[in-house]
Chain A
Amino acid sequence: MRLTIERRLEQPRWRVVVVPVGSVLFALLVAGVVLVVTGHDPISTYHKLFEAAFVQTGALNQTLIAATPLAFTGLAAAAAFRMRLYNIGGEGQLYLGAIFGAGIGLLVGGNGSASPGVIAAMVAAGCLGGALWAAIPGVLRAFLGTSEILTSLMLNYVAAYLLTYLIFQSQSYWRETKGFNATVFPTGKPLPPNAVWPTWNLSAQGGIAVPLGAFFAIGAAVVLWVLYKRTRFGFEVQVLGDSEGAARYAGVRVRRKILAVMAISGAIAGLGGASQVGDFSHALDGDPNGLQKQGYGYSGIVVAALGRYNPLAVLIVALLIGGLDNAGNTLQGADFPSGLVGVIQGIILFSALGGELLVRHRVRITRRAPAVEAAA
């Protein structure tokens, strides 16, 4: 008996819906066994998980806080991975976006209510910071053939040290130096009032504050979708992703595409960094136990894969993963170990990603492989 996995010649549309749903249900079943074995009631646990993510007072509010950065890093990864350009550096590009965005916010901001001009400057700076950081592995790949996977990954560590350095190990422009509190524990300098991004308040569910960044993420997804589906640039990127040789013969300028796609990818991650500062922390967060511990850049890769690199699907996946993330905080506690939360989250993500295989491939169990293949 032999197990073979082969590519499907055609991909029926219904599988795109059924397989992910089935995968998640399968995951809940497997995780259910884990829960029962560890002495927890699976139904009540899932109920709590769902409530904590989307239903209870303030839940959606908090889910959006987790989902917004994931949408940015997910889109950043999707933009690059489409061309089989594996930008693993979303994490570092997000930090650079935060550094640039905070820098400009501190520089041009002032008193008064949120200023569109200041916010636009922060957005532009965030995009620039991310794009420049992503351009380093882009240039190395385009001109020297260096693996962008390694270089972009390594630059994440460099960016993390830079972030910590700016707040903890230097009297930088980003660091708060006034007052006694600032000497007790290093913190970022707070943004001036008009550089703080506004929120759009919904009155449902005890008040949901939709961060401005969430709208930027939706905007970025639409732009990305149009770019990749409706323009020549997008078409060339797709061709390049499928076959670099074919693209070359067709006259696609490969180096330019690599640089452009890395820059776009980095700019989106960088915008996510500016949103972290403008929407949430309102100061540069250099604490290794803060922004760096969240690992939004790495989670974004999972979000992109689950969204099958489709920008609009990435938004939905970001919301779901954000919910799962937020619910995990609610679920863990004295009667529910955080490790178990991680196990459940892991099983769900693993199954969802594994299920993807079944959309594009089919698994066949064959008794005597050669004979069957001959018959087929």
Chain B
Amino acid sequence: MTKRKLALAAATLVIAAAAAVLALGTSPGSAKSTSAFKAAWIYVGPHDDGGWSQAHDDGRLYVQKALGSKVQTTYKENIAVGSQFDQTVSSLRAQGYKLIFATSYGYVTPAVAAKYPDVKFEQATGTLVGKNVSEYFGAAEDTVYLSGMAAGAAATCNTIGFVVAYPIPEVIRHANAFALGAQLTHPGIKVKLVWTNSWYDPPKEKKAAQSLHGSGSCVLGQNVDSPATGQYAESVKAPWVGYDSDASKFAPQSWLTASVYNWGPYYLKRVQAAMNGTWKPGFYYGNIADGFTKLAKYGPSVSSKTKSLIAAKLAKLRARPGAEFTGPLYDQSGKLRVPKGVQMQVLKGGTNSLYGMNWLVRGVIGSPKG
């Protein structure tokens, strides 16, 4: 045999051996706990991002802990909307995951829902309720408003910097709530926005924080997923208000507080409903009263006067969620948008609803178009 033939023979052998291993190899992972109910979570960023996705993963672990071996949970992180989400759903379904919590808007489309009719989808922050699609979220604006009060009280200058993700109603609503809260404790204060066009992009978030601080914002806040803004704030000794999760460990001195989510109880309820066959699509909007949104613990620099102001307001918002969006509310140009005494509703009212808001309140610097 020539050297060439030998090499070819060797290659064929190796390929055959590899194929045999791949075909016959056992995978112990797929054999375990077939009787457990399977539920999966899908995240836009890493599961331990210190913010949004981590709050959801805490919720997943809450379910796992409560139900133990009766349930098998997993997550998929850094998943793009579109075909990657489709791929992920398809593979989860093949592995028996028929309840999927898609934790960001844009994942579940009517087409995907129709393509996998036997999968129950739960999507956070959207409005697409369908035969097999539920939507869930909550009044974070109330707690964001309270965190804005802490930011306003901490400000020794006239501008607060706010790092924001996408120019969409959810983020606009939170930015507005934050500004209204800050204006309550610091009349006349401005809130300046910088958009990152991403939910999770630590370098971009840090740059945004840097430019806000550099242009005169002495307090920073955010509606993005990572604690990069806080880490930067800590490095320049500026007070910082976080979002989604308690991220005080990333900036122990700068930390004021944050609006945080408690997804666990909702997840547990829905998983249990799916397990005993009572799952029905719906629209859930949690609030302070049912424990869905909370204010994280305070940092060392928050004064007791501020704490008691916030506590009083919290009691009011617990009794009447969304009360901070009661008229008179003016937009950036000074035009009256919501008349006196009228409270904005969650879904009804077009651009004057919480889910449709596309304008910024007076005192916010930046464009609602990004």
Binding site for B on A (CB under 8 A): 12-15, 17-18, 21-22, 25, 28, 41, 43-44, 46-48, 50-52, 56-59, 61-62, 65-66, 164, 168-170, 180-181, 183-187, 280-282, 285, 287-291, 293-294, 326, 329-330, 332-335, 338
Contact = CB atoms under 8 A, between A and B. Distances in A.
B105 A185 contact: yes
Shortest Cβ-Cβ A-B pairs, 5 listed: A47-B25, A330-B91, A293-B80, A333-B74, A290-B82
B197 interface: yes
Contact of A184 (B46, B126, B198, B369): B126
B10 interface: yes
B167 interface: yes
Interface string B2-45: 00100110110011001001100111111000000000100010
Interface of B: 4, 7-8, 10-11, 14-15, 18, 21-22, 25-30, 40, 44, 46, 60, 73-84, 86-88, 90-91, 93-95, 104-106, 111, 125-128, 166-170, 197-199, 347, 350-351, 355-356, 358, 369-370
Given A14-B8, A43-B25, A44-B26, A185 B106 contact: yes
A333 B41 CA distance: 9
Contact of A289 (B40, B73, B81, B167): B81
B169 A183 contact: yes
Contact of B347 (A46, A48, A180): A180
A214 to B, nearest CB: 13
A338 B170 CA distance: 28
A161 B77 CA distance: 25
Given A46-B22, A62-B87, A185-B105, A21 B82 contact: no
A66 B28 contact: no
Contacts of A326: 87, 91
B94 A168 contact: no
Contacts of A44: 25-29
A169 B91 contact: no
A184 B91 contact: no
Contacts of B126: 181, 184-185
A58 B87 CA distance: 9
A332 B167 CA distance: 31
B87 to A, nearest CB: 4
A184 B348 CA distance: 12
A289 B88 contact: no
Contact of A21 (B14, B26, B199): B14
Given A21-B15, A168-B197, A185-B168, A41 B28 contact: yes
Contacts of B87: 62, 65-66, 326, 329
Contacts of A186: 168
Given A44-B26, A280-B83, A168 B356 contact: no
